Structure 1
């Protein structure tokens, strides 16, 4: 964080900076958000919250950039509008947590449990959510451009108007997920399961759909439904798998590859 030297924040930051290299100031969640910024600007460090029990905690607007919250217990915690850029939340339990409007750019959430969490309008650009549990999560209007969601479970998730351009969603579970009007341009969906998913009005321009599984209940946007039927082979019980060239706008003259 940069602050002008002649500004109040700049002067306080300078005062907070230790003249002794061996002295370390640790900031806790009990500090006010404004004072936390001052101390961090002066060289303080957030103390590790690895495995901390923060169930139901009110962390509205908290400044937690780069915080270590790996395996932390944050069930039903309120993190509305919090700053969690570059934070480490791998394996954290965020079941039912409120993360509305939260800044999670570049955050690490691999293997985190976000079942039923509210992530509406959250900024998750370039975030790591590999193998994360997002069953029933609300990601409406969330920004997930270039996010890493490989192997994530998004069953019954709400992704209405979510921005997922360029995201890695290979092998993701999107069963019964709602992706109405979602932005999926150049998204990597290879091997994903879209059984019963609703993609009505979604933008799939340039998306990689090679090996995607879908069903009779899956709703494709516009004319893409007919194209997907031509490019897919039946794998039984009303389900299909996309074969041939993977891109959504691929040449349909490329014959499908039979399932072994």
Structure 2
């Protein structure tokens, strides 16, 4: 007697009108309004559906076919997209904070400007069910996350899990990868130009012919990855030994400057840190550096939250990926400074009053603020002439953001 062939269970197909109704109910669920119902559509077909700007936080779309869908500026925080087929879909500016994307297929997808903080893109074990019962599991299939040829430019991938992901020829240019894991990942021929790659685990990763030009690559042991043919032109790496040796002297200068500020100029002396690499200084958060001169200094990736830099001279300074959250930069001169991927949330960038009816505006002329986070920042009359704000994030609703991993709405400067 011939064995009966197992057939694939029939999938539910959801069209645009049905999807709109289901998502509307989910949005009521998220907002805790009457008539709400969480969106749970496992192994469904929603190909080509447009859900731009919709709130799909905590939705469950496990194993669903979502090819060529549009999720631009949508909120997908903590959404379950385990094993989903998202090929050629668009997630421009979407929030995928802590989303479950294990085993998801994102080949050719557009994730530019998206927030993938703490997202999980590792391999996923997919259960294949019996065609008759549709429940009895007969085998498991391990599927690696797929980002081959995907556009992830300008995205935030901080603390994301990309272990064993396949991302050959993907575009990660100018993205932020602080604290991410790339163990065993395949990024051969990928572009990481201008990216901020800090404290990333690349053990066993394939980075052959990857382009790291103009990137910040710090606290990363590249000797544990395959690097044949990788391009590292103008790449900013860990501080040189000479910078470490100068750290003690610079700390003394900073202490004298603090005394000068607090005493109103009666004691201490103003610090001149022009051209210095300040990264070896362990702790500058909350420091009093009013009117300090640090032209062309390197502060890339430093934790400078709540620092006082009123009236400071920071022209041409390298502040890529620096954390300047809640810092006071009123009246500072940052002409030509590099603030790519900098965290400027709730930062004071407005004019500094110094005499009755007189004030000094913050100068950001010709500064690069590409992909910087300006949500909640106080700009006022800031001089932004010829500043590059491509991909910079600003609050759609100017409200105080309490959570460092906030996944609320934002606007992009394109």
1:92-131 per-position Cα deviation (integer Å, ceiling 9, x unaligned): 0000001101110000000100000000000000000013
Segment of structure 1 superposing worse, 78-87 or 200-209: 200-209
| Deviation >6 Å, runs of 4+ | 32-35
| Larger RCO (alpha carbons 8 Å, 6+ apart) | 1
Q: Does the C-alpha gap of structure 1 residues 203 and 223 become closer, same or farther in structure 2, counting only changes over 3 Å?
A: closer
Q: Does the C-alpha gap of structure 1 residues 119 and 223 become closer, same or farther in structure 2, counting only changes over 3 Å?
A: closer
2:33 match: 42
User: Counterparts of 1:173 and 1:132 in 2: how far apart (Å)?
Assistant: 10
TM-score when normalising by structure 1: 0.71
1:60 maps to 2:73: no
1:179 match: 192
**Bigger radius of gyration, 1 or 2?**
2
User: Counterparts of 2:28 and 2:67 in 1: how far apart (Å)?
Assistant: 29
User: Counterparts of 1:69 and 1:97 in 2: how far apart (Å)?
Assistant: 14
Note the C-alpha offset of 1:42: 3.0
User: Counterparts of 1:224 and 1:139 in 2: how far apart (Å)?
Assistant: 21
1:31 maps to 2:33: no
2:63 maps to which of 63, 67, 71 = 71
Unaligned runs of 5+ in 2: 1-17, 123-143, 238-414
Unaligned runs of 5+ in 1: 1-27, 226-260
User: Counterparts of 2:221 and 2:201 in 1: how far apart (Å)?
Assistant: 5
User: Counterparts of 2:235 and 2:55 in 1: how far apart (Å)?
Assistant: 46
1:9 match: none
1:94 match: 86
TM-score when normalising by structure 2: 0.45
User: Counterparts of 2:197 and 2:235 in 1: how far apart (Å)?
Assistant: 16
The count of corresponding residues between Structure 1 and Structure 2 is: 198
1:168-212 per-position Cα deviation (integer Å, ceiling 9, x unaligned): 111110100000011111111111111111011111110133420
Q: Does the C-alpha gap of structure 1 residues 45 and 210 become closer, same or farther in structure 2, counting only changes over 3 Å?
A: farther
Task: Report the RMSD for the aligned CA atoms in angstroms.
Answer: 2.1
Q: Does the C-alpha gap of structure 1 residues 118 and 198 become closer, same or farther in structure 2, counting only changes over 3 Å?
A: same
